[in-house]
């Protein structure tokens, strides 16, 4: 066989294709990354940083503290909030503003005054407003109802309305004291009163005691408006209600002196009248004794004359006439004393009538006849 035929008959073996190392061509997004034969690790959720949690907790804490603080502030200032709400539309009259101004009320004292809707009333209206009060003189305070002050136009009693307004405001203030504070103030009030020498105040307190009033409450108002010298602790206490408490006391003294000066004058005149009356009684007794002696001597003279004892009679007449001189002098002195007595009595009655007239605009007690209102 020829070499070339041998080659022709031999099966030509094609070379085997080598396995491709190229990946399969994927029709689609040419930008896609080739898939990996290895499984992807499971994706874990991203945890927030610990610092963020702390910030959130801090913000919540601040919020809660702020809420608690606001609630606490509202609780401790609840009375101020209630007062503000009550007074939000309140407009005091010019007379009420004048009373607050002229009685030197502080901002807090003025608020206590206004919160009770004070009214300055004529006697008839005042009588109706305060007829159920225990003791009614110049003003009254009725819890949850109001403060009522008697209107007084008498010029000599200037200041009386202002002091009354301050007095009633202090009643409202006393009602607001806490239990512990009230006990502390009561002790100070009673200690002060026990060392007080002002008779006019003791007379007032006795009147309140007779009518079953709350003496501590009354002392709180009376000492605060009528006593100039108070212990330092009480003085500091009253500063929350007044800008110038001494000014209120001065007003009180001013109108009180209108009555005090007249009362003292009447007392002085009464003493003079009593002295004159005693002297007149003594003189009258002496005159009766002298008159009896003179009459007895006159009878003796008549007897001498009837017996025609002229010499004895003439000697006795001179003595008789001399005995008439002290009698007539004492008689004249007594007449002068009686005239003086009448003059002093007229002056005394004039002043007493003046006091009575000054008291008329102030007499608004529940026992006052309706015809006098």
Per-residue pLDDT tens for 201-257? 998 899 888 888 899 999 999 999 999 999 999 999 999 999 999 999 999 999 889
Domain boundary residue, one of 186, 221, 254? 254
Question: Is 86 part of a structural domain of the chain?
Answer: no
Kind and range of the H or E run holding 65? helix 50-76
Among residues 222, 233, 230, the alpha carbon closest in space to that of 163 is found at 222
**Is residue 238 located within the same domain as residue 294?**
no
In whole angstroms, give the CA distance from residue 282 to residue 298: 24
The pLDDT score that the predictor gives to residue 175 is 94
Please check the confidence at residue 54 and state whether its pLDDT lies above 80: no
The pLDDT score that the predictor gives to residue 205 is 92
Angle at 278 between CA 274 and CA 281, to 5 degrees: 140
Task: Please state the three-class secondary structure of 287-315 as a single string.
Answer: HHHHHHHHHHHHHHHHHHHHCCCHHHHHH
Domain boundary residue, one of 254, 269, 299? 254
Question: Is 271 part of a structural domain of the chain?
Answer: yes
The pLDDT score that the predictor gives to residue 150 is 93
**Is residue 216 located within the same domain as residue 106?**
yes
**Is residue 269 located within the same domain as residue 364?**
yes
Number of domains in the chain: 2
List residues bridging with 141 in a β-sheet. 147
In whole angstroms, give the CA distance from residue 207 to residue 137: 12
The pLDDT score that the predictor gives to residue 139 is 92
Average pLDDT over residues 86-109: 92
**Is residue 261 located within the same domain as residue 249?**
no
Question: Is 167 part of a structural domain of the chain?
Answer: yes
**Is residue 146 located within the same domain as residue 160?**
yes
In whole angstroms, give the CA distance from residue 142 to residue 43: 79
Domain boundary residue, one of 230, 254, 278? 254
Question: Is 320 part of a structural domain of the chain?
Answer: yes
Please check the confidence at residue 18 and state whether its pLDDT lies above 70: no
The pLDDT confidence band at residue 311, using thresholds 50, 70 and 90, is confident
Q: What is the dihedral of CA 56, 57, 61, 67, to 10 degrees?
A: 50
Q: What is the dihedral of CA 309, 314, 317, 318, to 10 degrees?
A: -150
Angle at 167 between CA 165 and CA 168, to 5 degrees: 70
**Is residue 205 located within the same domain as residue 344?**
no
Task: Say if pTM beats, i.e. exceeds, 0.85.
Answer: no
**Is residue 133 located within the same domain as residue 226?**
yes
Please check the confidence at residue 79 and state whether its pLDDT lies above 90: no
Q: Which two tokens stand for residue 138?
A: 């110049």
Question: Is 194 part of a structural domain of the chain?
Answer: yes
**Is residue 202 located within the same domain as residue 337?**
no
How far, rounded to the nearest angstrom, does the alpha carbon of residue 298 sit from its chain's CA centroid?
78
Among residues 162, 177, 175, 169, the alpha carbon closest in space to that of 147 is found at 169
Q: What is the pLDDT of residues 122-164, one digit of tens each?
A: 988 998 888 766 565 789 999 989 999 999 988 889 999 999 9
In whole angstroms, give the CA distance from residue 221 to residue 164: 10
How far, rounded to the nearest angstrom, does the alpha carbon of residue 177 sit from its chain's CA centroid?
12
**Is residue 265 located within the same domain as residue 352?**
yes
Q: Which two tokens stand for residue 314?
A: 């003439």
Average pLDDT over residues 318-346: 93
In whole angstroms, give the CA distance from residue 246 to residue 260: 19
**Is residue 192 located within the same domain as residue 282?**
no
Residue located via tokens 């190392």:
21
Q: Which two tokens stand for residue 307?
A: 């017996």
User: Contact 83/115 with Cβ under 8 angstroms?
Assistant: yes
Q: Which residues contact 120 (CB under 8 A, 6 or more apart)?
A: 93, 95, 96, 99, 149, 151, 161
**Is residue 231 located within the same domain as residue 299?**
no
User: Contact 121/129 with Cβ under 8 angstroms?
Assistant: yes
Q: Which domain holds residue 247?
A: 94-254
Q: What is the edge-to-edge ordering of all strands in the sheet holding 119-121?
A: 119-121, 146-150, 139-142
**Is residue 208 located within the same domain as residue 306?**
no
Radius of gyration of the chain (CA): 54
What values do phi and psi take at 135, rounded to 5?
-135, 125
* Alpha helices (runs of H) in 116-159, residue ranges in sequence order: 123-130
Which long-range contacts link 140-145 to residues 24+ away (Cβ below 8 Å)?
Answer: 140/168, 141/116, 141/168, 141/171, 141/172, 143/172, 143/175
């Amino acid at each position: 066989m020829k070499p070339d035929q041998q080659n022709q008959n031999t099966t030509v073996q094609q070379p085997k294709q080598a396995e491709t190392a190229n990946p399969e061509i994927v029709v689609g997004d040419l930008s896609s990354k080739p898939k990996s034969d290895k499984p992807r690790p499971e994706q874990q959720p991203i945890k927030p940083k610990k610092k963020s949690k702390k910030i959130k907790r801090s913000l919540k804490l601040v919020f809660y503290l702020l809420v608690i603080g606001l609630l606490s502030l509202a609780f401790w200032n609840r009375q101020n909030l209630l007062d503000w709400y009550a007074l939000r539309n309140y407009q005091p009259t010019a007379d009420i503003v004048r009373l607050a101004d002229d009685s030197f009320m502080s901002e807090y004292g003025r608020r206590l005054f206004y919160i009770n809707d004070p009214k300055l009333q004529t006697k008839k209206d005042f009588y109706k407003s305060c007829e159920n009060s225990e003791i009614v003189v110049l003003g009254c305070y009725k819890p949850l109802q109001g403060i009522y002050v008697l209107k007084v136009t008498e010029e000599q009693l200037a200041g009386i309305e202002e002091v009354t307004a301050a007095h009633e405001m202090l009643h409202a203030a006393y009602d607001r004291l806490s239990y512990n504070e009230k006990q502390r103030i009561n002790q100070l009030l009673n200690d002060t009163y026990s060392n007080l020498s002002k008779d006019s105040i003791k007379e007032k307190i006795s009147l309140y005691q007779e009518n079953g009033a709350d003496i501590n409450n009354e002392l709180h108002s009376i000492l605060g408006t009528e006593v100039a010298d108070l212990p330092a602790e009480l003085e500091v206490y009253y500063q929350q209600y007044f800008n110038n408490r001494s000014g209120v006391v001065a007003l009180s003294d001013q109108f009180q002196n209108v009555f005090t000066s007249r009362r003292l004058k009447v007392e002085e005149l009464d003493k003079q009248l009593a002295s004159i009356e005693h002297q007149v009684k003594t003189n009258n007794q002496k005159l009766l004794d002298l008159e009896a002696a003179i009459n007895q001597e006159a009878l003796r003279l008549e007897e001498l004359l009837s017996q025609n004892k002229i010499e004895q009679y003439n000697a006795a007449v001179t003595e008789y006439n001399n005995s008439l001189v002290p009698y007539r002098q004492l008689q004249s002195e007594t007449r002068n004393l009686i005239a003086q007595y009448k003059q002093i009595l007229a002056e005394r009655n004039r002043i007493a009538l003046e006091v009575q007239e000054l008291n008329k605009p102030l007499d608004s007690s529940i026992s006052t006849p309706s015809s006098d209102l």
